[in-house]
Every structure is written in structure tokens, then in C-alpha cells.
Amino acid sequence: MTCEPVRIDSWPRGILHLDGDGFFASIEQAIHPELKGRPVVTGIERGIVAAASYEAKAYGVKRGVPLSEVRKLCPQCVMLPSDYETYSLFSKRMYAIMRDFTPEVEEYSIDEAFADLTGFRMLYHCSYEEIARRMKIQVEKDLGITVSVGLSLSKSLAKLCSKFRKPSGFTAVPGHQLHILLARTPLEKVWGFGPNKTAYLNKLGLKTAYDYVRLSRDFVKRRLGKIGVEIWSELQGEYVYKIDVNAKQEYQSICKSKTFLPPSPDPDYVKAQLLRNLESACIKARRYDLVAGRMTVYLKRQNFTTVGLEAVLSRPTVATLQLAPLARGLFEKIFEGGTEYRATGVVLSHLEKAKPIQFGLFENPLQAVKIEEASKAIDAINAHYGKHSIFVGDALKLQGRPRGKNDIRTYRRDHLLPGETARRHIGLPLLAVDPDSRIIGACADATPKPPRILN
């Protein structure tokens, strides 16, 4: 390697990035040991791959590929419905294991997390590499999945390292070896560089991350602004993007969408799906005490094209009963008779913290207050009896209707624990199933059934 070191100090900080390998598919293999070593994908309910195991990826199966294409690439692939409830519980357990090593853990996404190990060498009497390896082993042992771990001086570098070897990889790059990692990293692999920025840098003659960090700070600031300088500094090992240990409480927008199979041209059914999205988005916004200034609704056609409309609200709100008439009106404007739709979605944007209501000149204050109170009562009832126990009347069109492939039930949904209902589960995944499909541990009284698998 002919390039010169970027810095000579090895570990001014120890920042770790942990990344689940094929997270959803790996969890399915952990829950169902009979699937280990077999190609597995999740996402039957959407008709496209949500996650693929590495055995499936070996056949060229990627995320977002239609299942019909998967059958051509890998006829023996096992296809499962997504069980997001169980994936979320695994994710929480993964964060908890990481916090056993350090309190500074950032829950970046359901399958990724950052951790700051700085200062813990004295506590554990070992190097940062050894601490990171112990964490990796503990996660894999407790969850039965593999994870890839990167360790370096900043979040950007740690994320590069975790992607360097997969699956079950471990890459630690101290400061005096950064030039080797950066010289082997194409610009398009750098966290924060999109296709346009990469194309622009390529036109300047830059090919690798090392080429980028060799630019002067002034040049980067003039050409790429503040974000460009932040990425440039992170790649040099400066700790710019701090570990955020707080659970996410702030949102710029909230989006709820639903893909349904088979696609439908039925206006009542598609509208019912849209109103269900609206209810879910409003519930989440109220949970964080937010109100929305704008609402967007959209419909995705069977040919994957999308049509939508945005409305500016006269007063910020997330009361479903106030937004539902507006959503119906927008739906009537964008729905095209005779067209098959495969998905609907609602986006609540321009979110802000809820404040005392300021009524407009032509509003009915009494009615508005009653609707706000009704929303609180609905939330309380749904919290006790399960989400969507009370719903807007349009959603009645979803009741008892054949749901096609979307009705394929997850293993967790088919195995309720004593006291659970279809709408209300306790936060406990069914983790251990022996090769004879006998449930071990918490679900001893449940009648064991094999998982439903669609080949």
C-alpha cells in the first residue's frame, strides 16, 4: 500500500457498529432450527423479499425482488410471512446485551446499533478489540443469529468496518491503519454519499475514500458544504457524529403504509386500507404527543406507479375522526375506477409538539373538543384490548374479507400464550423449538404446530 497514514494515534476512541446479518431471515432460522442452512426469505405478505438469508443470497436473491423472480432463481427457497413483532423483540434483546458492556448504545435501526467503548479497557482489562469480540459472541450465543461487527474511531468508520466482512465478520481498524481501509473503500460505499455526490466526486477524479480525505478542508467546505466536511472529518477518525443513547422521540414525519395481496380494484376495500393507515399513523403520533400540519395520502398501483395528494391542515391535529373526512376526500380524487391497487399509505408531516387548541373563526369548538376527548378514550381502550379494537367504520370492509396470501399467518400469531388474544400479545417471542417442533419453555401449555411454510 503506497498511501500514507491518515493519523498515527491508534485508539483515541473506540466506536463499535453491530449489524445483524440478514436479520429477519436469520431470526426465522433461529426460531425454526430446521431451516438452518436452507435458503429463506421473508415478505410473502408484500409479494417481494423483505429479507433473505445468506443461503438465498448465494442464488442472487436480493431485498425487494418479487417472489415470482425468487422462484426462478431459487425454486427450493422457503418463503415466510414477516413476523415483525418477534423481530422487534429480538432487536430489543440485542440492544440489552450491548448495554451489558457499555451504557452508551444507540439504537440506529431494528438490526443495527452503535456503541461507545471508550474508557472501558481499564474496566475489562483488555483491548477494545477483545471487548467488541466478547459482545459479538454474546449476541450470537444468546440470540442464535450471526452479526457483523466493525470497530474504529468514529461512527462512519465503524460502519465501514462492519460491512467489510459479512456474514459474521469482525473488522477492527485503529488510527494508524485507516489509510489501508480508506484506500480499499470506493466512494459509493461511504456512509452519507449518494449516487449524485459520488458521481460529482468521480468527475473530480476521486475514486476512493482515501482520495476524499486527502482533499483540504477548505476545498471540501467550498464544494460539499457542512455535511461534506462532517463526513471528511469522520473518515479521518474525528468523533463528529455522537452516539445518541436516547430512544427516538422526535419525528419529522410519520408514515404508515400497507401492501395487500392480491391487488384490488374495489374502492371500498382500498379506502378501508387507507383509513387503517391513517388510524395507525395517528395512534403513533399521539403516543409521542405530536400533532401534524400536513397529511399526504397515496395509492400504489399494481404496476408499481404511485399517485398521491397532500393537504395542508387549517389547524395541527392527529385526531383520526377529524382527519378521516379529509382522507376520504383525497382518496376520491386520486382513485381511478378499473385500476388495481397493491398498497396504500398515509404520511403525517410538519409534526410539532401538541399545544392547547387554538380554534379557527369558523370552527365548532365544542365538537373539536369532543373529538379530541374521543381520541384519548379510543387510545385507552385500544391499549387495554389491543390495537384497532375500536376503528373507523370504513375499516369494516376489512372484516371477514378473504386476504389471499396476506392471510398467511406467522408462527407467533398461531401460537398464543395463555391469556393472550389475537390483538394483544405479551412481549415474549417463542424462541426455542426443538427439531420435533415441541415448544420449550414459556409456552409449555400451547399446542405445538409446525410453522406454515410456502415453497
Per-residue pLDDT of 297-325, as tens digits, reads 999 998 888 899 999 988 888 888 889 99
Q: For residue 418, what pLDDT band results from cuts at 50, 70 and 90?
A: confident
Active-site residue set: 112
Distance (Å, whole) CA 281 – CA 298 = 14
What pLDDT is recorded for position 433? 47
Q: How does DSSP assign 341-364, residue by residue?
A: EEEEEEEEES-EE--S----TT--
| Predicted confidence (pLDDT) at residue 120 exceeds the cutoff of 90 | yes
pLDDT at 66: 86
For range 4-29, the mean pLDDT = 92
For residue 135, the model assigns a pLDDT of 97
Query: Of the ranges 123-137, 297-311, 408-422, which one carries the lowest mean pLDDT score?
Result: 408-422
Assign 72 a pLDDT band (cuts: 50, 70, 90): very high
Averaged pLDDT for residues 12-21: 96
Local confidence band at 235 (pLDDT 50, 70, 90 cut-offs) = very high
Distances (CA, A) of 425 to 59, 415, 418, 429, 444: 36, 10, 10, 10, 16
Give the chain's mean pLDDT.
85
Is the per-residue pLDDT at 441 higher than 50?
no
* pLDDT computed for residue 363 by the predictor: 67
Q: Is the confidence at residue 409, as pLDDT, over 70? A: no
Q: What is the DSSP letter of 398?
A: G
In this predicted structure, the answer to whether residue 293 has a pLDDT above a threshold of 60 is yes
Which whole number is the average pLDDT over 329-339? 93
pLDDT, one tens digit per residue, over 158-195 is: 999 999 888 999 999 999 999 999 999 999 999 999 89
Per residue, the 3-state secondary structure of 251-286, as one string, reads: CCEEEEEEEEEEEECCHHHHHHHHHHHHHHHHHHHH
> What is the model's pLDDT at position 438?
39
Q: pTM for this one? A: 0.73
| pLDDT over threshold 80, residue 221 | yes
Question: What's the pLDDT score for residue 449?
Answer: 41
